[in-house]
Amino acid sequence: MNTEQLAKIFKALGHPTRIKIVEHLIDINTCVCGEIVDIFPYSQSTISQHLKLLKESGIVCGEVEGPKTYFCVDKTVLNEFKQYIQSFYKDEKTNG
């Protein structure tokens, strides 16, 4: 994972609503379309902007089926990000 992608992920996770969206997608463990708007107290356009940033970061992927886009968490990207974060703790153990 390069530094540019890491920066996008950190930016995407820099807003509480986007964190909640990712948590929700992880919890339900499936792809969703319009249901996200029903869960959060924000307008369709606000949720769309949050999803756009999450998608640009790679955390969330979107699959278009006709007029709808289904959003899912990209587990590969999340696992790479998790490994990156965990590397700090490994360094701490070897240096501490």
Q: For 54-89, how does the pLDDT look when each residue is reduced to its tens digit (9 = 90+)?
A: 999 999 998 888 888 899 999 999 999 999 999 988
* CA distance linking residue 32 with residue 69, whole number of Å: 8
Structure confidence by residue, pLDDT tens digits, 30-61: 888 888 888 899 999 999 999 999 999 999 99
* CA distance linking residue 65 with residue 71, whole number of Å: 11
Secondary structure (DSSP) of 18-75: HHHHHHHHHHHTS-BSTHHHHHSSS-HHHHHHHHHHHHHHTSEEEEEETTEEEEEE-H
Number of domains present in the structure of the chain:
1
CATH number of domain containing 40: 1.10.10.10
Residue span of the structural domain in which 37 resides: 3-95
* CA distance linking residue 2 with residue 44, whole number of Å: 32
